[in-house]
Amino acid sequence: MIPVIVILAYLALIAFIGGMAFKKSKENTEDFFLANRSIGPLIFFLSIFATNMTAFAILGSSGQAYRQGIGIYGLMASSSCFVIPLTIFFIGTRLWALGKKFGHQTQVSYFRDRWECNHIGTVIFALTAAMLVPYMIISIMGGGTVLANISASGPLHQPLIPYAWGCAVVAVVVTLNVFLGGMRGTVWVNILQTILFLCFGAVAVAVISHALPLGFSDYMSKLAADPKTRFLVTRERMPQVAFWSYTLIPLSSIMFPHMAIMCFSARHVSAFKQTVIAYPLAILAIWLPCVFLGVLGFATLGKIPDPDGVLVQMLQKYAPAWLAGVLGAGIISAVMGSDAHQVLALSTMFTKDIIVHYGGREKFGERRSVHFARIFIIFVTLIAYFVALSLKEKQGIFEIAVRYAFSGFAAMAPVMVAALFWKRSTKWGALAATLLVGGFLVWTALMQAGHEPGEVLWQIGEIKVFFMNPRGDVSFWNGFMTVVPMVIGSSVCVVLFSLLTRPPSPATIARYFDATASHASS
Amino acid sequence: MKKLFLFVFILAIYAAHQDSWNWAKSAPMLFGFLPPGLAYQAAYSIACAAMMAVLVKVAWPKHLEEQADKPRQ
């Protein structure tokens, strides 16, 4: 009961903050979607970090560490430590400058203006929205599952908050927060959320270490000494090519529309300075304790039916009830922090890239555009909620969709790089890359659904170009993840089709490249 | 020259992520409980923060602020 009270108090606080932000808001889209481009350095860091961290950072990381061992940290966390700050440094800062200079609020509006295109921007919008929706649905599913698990009590483990109610609570609180406060409400809440889940790992490790009968070193030595569990403290079962492939996945981060929109919202470019330095340290603060506790969970709990619940089980066994409440709030924070940004990003894209772009501003004005955005927020959350309820048993499908969506966003990164750094790039290059990414994702989904592990999908002579790996995922030659051919293919498409077609007018190129060139300031 | 140095520096940090020499190592454990592969990758995260600090110090795009504040053409 105590954890549930702590979580409900926390959710009430979130809704209250949304109400406070509403009082400060102005009825125009720049204020609603970007908080008037006024986000300062500390809030910018806390918020951009919350945008990217989902419940997976806490529950999934420990669950995967329980299954696969310490290699998960290098695979998912330290690769992000390298790639994400670099993309924020090179791409995020330029997006900020162009957004401020030309008034862009979304990536698509930038692409349209930069490449003098209209419907190609709509194609990029459609692919981006299609890849984002499963991510949003799984956030609500994750919230419902977490609330049900944490509130379970008694010998039958009956949840005090059933799954359907848990999903509803998360959906309502996120909607209230985004509907009322827009970007301002979302980033205010992020301050609390990020601090909460940044502290969580260290607190959990400290509390558990006090309660365990043996020391950490005893458990880890035991795992290392047993040939059956040695893989947990090494990476001997982790293929090196898959480990390398994964370094391309964090390229997705800057292509998430919610991440790009955050970049537009900073007051000064200097807000990015602290963010890029602190980002790897924040990843370390969350992931290291969670991965370590996941491996430790194997040593202390033995085999458990639901590895993703290893952290919850350890806390239930070794920590007081209040900490389980803080854990719940931390996980729900991670779920809602990213979900709120996804909902806001979808509503921003729908309003700016579709309604306003196709003549809505002249027809409805700024104030009514904000109303459209709010209606869209309710609409999209309701859809996500009902999908989360009706397809509860098919959560795995959404997990696969999200996994491939990450590869899809990563493969769109060459499009952004071309737009920002290559004058000769054209809308046709961007379209070719977008269609390739979309087509590849559809093909992968079809292959995934219709083939068994071990089957070869495409072979040239003796070389297996695409095949199903033992986990049932589509793999590229030699065991590389599909993100590798997708990024290479997308890059080739951008270059090839750009060279074959006419570039934008010299005036447009000058406008955009003078705006970001260092020589222009001197 | 500065650009080349920074490019090589970033490339070296990227290459350091693939620590194949730690793949099968389970000892010695840092502080007695942190496996070498995990300790290395944790240190790598700190190195990434240091790399970003260097980039901010020597390659910060400060012209972007001036350009963004110029009136629209």
A181 burial type by CB count under 10 A (0-12 exposed, 13-18 middle, 19+ buried): buried
Mean pLDDT of chain A: 88
**pLDDT tens digits for range A246-276:** 999 999 999 999 999 999 999 999 999 999 9
**Residues in CB range of A199: below 8 A, 6 or more apart:** none
Interface test with A, best of B20, B33, B66, B69 (most A CBs within 10 A): B33
Interface test with A, best of B13, B19, B40, B48 (most A CBs within 10 A): B48
Verify whether the Cβ–Cβ distance A74 to B19 is below 8 Å.
Answer: yes
Q: Residue B26 has what pLDDT?
A: 93
| Mean pLDDT, chain B cut into blocks of 10 residues (73 residues total) | 93 97 94 96 98 96 78 55
- Burial string for A216-246 (b: 16+ CB within 10 Å, else e) reads beebbbebbeeeeebbbbbbeebeeebbbbb
**pLDDT tens digits for range B25-42:** 998 999 999 999 999 999
Question: Rounded to a whole number, what is the distance in Å from the CA of A4 to chain B's nearest CA?
Answer: 34
Give yes or no for residue A110 having a pLDDT over 80.
yes
Q: Residue A521 has what pLDDT?
A: 41
Three-state DSSP state, A159: strand
Give yes or no for residue A30 having a pLDDT over 90.
no
Residues from chain A contacting residue B63 (CB–CB below 8 Å): 517-518, 520-522
DSSP state of A468: E
**pLDDT tens digits for range A80-96:** 999 999 999 999 999 99
B5 burial type by CB count under 10 A (0-12 exposed, 13-18 middle, 19+ buried): exposed
Q: Residue A361 has what pLDDT?
A: 62
Q: Residue B58 has what pLDDT?
A: 95
The model scores a pTM over 0.90: yes
Beta bridge partners of A449: none
Interface test with B, best of A79, A226, A233, A288 (most B CBs within 10 A): A233
Q: Tell me the mean pLDDT in the region A399-417.
A: 87
Verify whether the Cβ–Cβ distance B37 to A93 is below 8 Å.
Answer: no
Q: Tell me the mean pLDDT in the region A436-440.
A: 96
Residues from chain A contacting residue B35 (CB–CB below 8 Å): 70, 220, 224, 233-234
The CA distances from residue A310 to A244, A301, A326, B5, in Å, are 27, 8, 16, 45
Q: Is residue A141 a contact partner of residue A398, using CB atoms and an 8 Å limit?
A: yes
* Confidence bin at A472 (pLDDT 50/70/90): confident
Residue A467 host element (H or E): strand A463-468
Give yes or no for residue A123 having a pLDDT over 50.
yes
Closest residue in chain B to residue A230, using alpha carbons only:
B26
Closest residue in chain A to residue B33, using alpha carbons only:
A217
The closest CB to that of B33, out of A216, A514, A517, belongs to A216
Residues from chain A contacting residue B72 (CB–CB below 8 Å): 101-103
Give yes or no for residue A328 having a pLDDT over 80.
no
Q: Residue A437 has what pLDDT?
A: 96
Question: Rounded to a whole number, what is the distance in Å from the CA of A97 to chain B's nearest CA?
Answer: 5
Three-state DSSP state, B30: strand
Give yes or no for residue A215 having a pLDDT over 80.
yes
Q: Tell me the mean pLDDT in the region A398-413.
A: 83
Q: Is residue A134 a contact partner of residue A401, using CB atoms and an 8 Å limit?
A: yes
Question: Rounded to a whole number, what is the distance in Å from the CA of B8 to chain A's nearest CA?
Answer: 14
Q: Residue A252 has what pLDDT?
A: 94
Question: Rounded to a whole number, what is the distance in Å from the CA of A507 to chain B's nearest CA?
Answer: 10
- Chains A and B form CB pairs within 8 A to the count of 157
Give the whole-number percent of chain A exceeding pLDDT 90: 49
Mind spelling out the 3-state secondary structure of A289-357? Answer: HHHHHHHHHHHHHCCCCCHHHHHHHHHHHHCCHHHHHHHHHHHHHHHHHHHHHHHHHHHHHHHHHHHHH
**pLDDT tens digits for range A285-308:** 999 999 999 999 999 999 888 787
Q: Residue A115 has what pLDDT?
A: 96
* Most confidently modeled range among A85-89, A264-268, A380-384, A477-481: A85-89
Residues from chain B contacting residue A522 (CB–CB below 8 Å): 63
Interface test with B, best of A75, A76, A78 (most B CBs within 10 A): A78
Verify whether the Cβ–Cβ distance A224 to B42 is below 8 Å.
Answer: no
Give the whole-number percent of chain B exceeding pLDDT 90: 79
Verify whether the Cβ–Cβ distance A74 to B44 is below 8 Å.
Answer: yes
Residues from chain B contacting residue A242 (CB–CB below 8 Å): none
Q: Residue A520 has what pLDDT?
A: 46
Q: Residue A136 has what pLDDT?
A: 83
Verify whether the Cβ–Cβ distance B35 to A224 is below 8 Å.
Answer: yes
Residues from chain B contacting residue A206 (CB–CB below 8 Å): none
**pLDDT tens digits for range A447-469:** 988 899 999 999 999 999 999 99
Closest residue in chain A to residue B50, using alpha carbons only:
A277
Verify whether the Cβ–Cβ distance B17 to A269 is below 8 Å.
Answer: no
Q: Residue A460 has what pLDDT?
A: 94
Q: Residue A294 has what pLDDT?
A: 94
CB atoms under 10 Å from CB of A329, counted, come to 25
* Confidence bin at A57 (pLDDT 50/70/90): confident
Q: Residue A396 has what pLDDT?
A: 65
* Confidence bin at A218 (pLDDT 50/70/90): very high
* Confidence bin at A522 (pLDDT 50/70/90): very low
**pLDDT tens digits for range A144-166:** 877 887 777 777 678 888 889 98
Q: What's at A498, amino acid-wise?
A: S
Residues from chain A contacting residue B37 (CB–CB below 8 Å): 70-71, 74, 233-235
The CA distances from residue A215 to A206, A290, A315, in Å, are 12, 17, 17
Question: Rounded to a whole number, what is the distance in Å from the CA of A16 to chain B's nearest CA?
Answer: 35
Q: Tell me the mean pLDDT in the region A428-448.
A: 94
Residues from chain A contacting residue B41 (CB–CB below 8 Å): 70, 73-74, 77-78
Verify whether the Cβ–Cβ distance A78 to B41 is below 8 Å.
Answer: yes
Give me the interface pTM, i.e. the ipTM: 0.95
Least confident of A253-257, A302-306, A438-442, A482-486: A302-306
Verify whether the Cβ–Cβ distance A240 to B64 is below 8 Å.
Answer: no
Verify whether the Cβ–Cβ distance A270 to B42 is below 8 Å.
Answer: no
A302 burial type by CB count under 10 A (0-12 exposed, 13-18 middle, 19+ buried): exposed
Q: Residue A264 has what pLDDT?
A: 93
Distance CA A330, CA A449 (A): 35
Verify whether the Cβ–Cβ distance B64 to A94 is below 8 Å.
Answer: yes
Residues from chain A contacting residue B17 (CB–CB below 8 Å): 74, 78-79, 82, 247
Q: Residue A312 has what pLDDT?
A: 79
Angle at A449 between CA A445 and CA A453, to 5 degrees: 110
Interface test with A, best of B2, B14, B52, B57 (most A CBs within 10 A): B52
